[in-house]
Amino acid sequence: MMEIECVVTGQVQGVGYRDYVATAAATCQLNGYVKNRPDGTVLVCAQGTQSELKDFIEYLHEGSIMAKTADVGVTWRSAEQEYDDFSVAY
């Protein structure tokens, strides 16, 4: 199982981006989490197959209707801790 950690920049807070990411994760059958960071970025951690994660990254670039995604920084790694579901951290 692979894991990605993504830092998403742009206008991604206060625009429904985290809910959009959670829906995309369910569509791609991924586990992990999404949360806002104090610096205005969004942190996403997702686990799945390489193919599922590549599809998911495309969703992250697209963003919710009101979001304006500037960049998605992606770090690939092997999963050390497995998540049971995908959650939105508040």
Q: How far apart are CA 81 and CA 84, in angstroms?
A: 10
- Identify the pLDDT of residue 64: 94
For 7-51, write each residue's pLDDT tens digit: 999 999 999 999 999 999 999 999 999 999 999 999 999 999 999
Q: Which residues contact 26 (CB under 8 A, 6 or more apart)?
A: 86
Provide the residue ranges of all domains of the chain, joining segments of one domain with +. Answer: 11-75
pTM score of the predicted model: 0.96
36 part of the active site:
yes
Catalytic residue (one of 18, 31, 37, 77): 18
Read off the tokens for 8: 């998403």
The CATH architecture annotation of domain 11-75 reads: 2-Layer Sandwich (3.30)
H/E run at residue 47? strand 42-48
31 part of the active site:
no
**What's the chain's average pLDDT?**
97
User: Average of pLDDT values for 54-77?
Assistant: 97
- Identify the pLDDT of residue 90: 82
Q: Give residue for tokens 């304006």.
A: 68
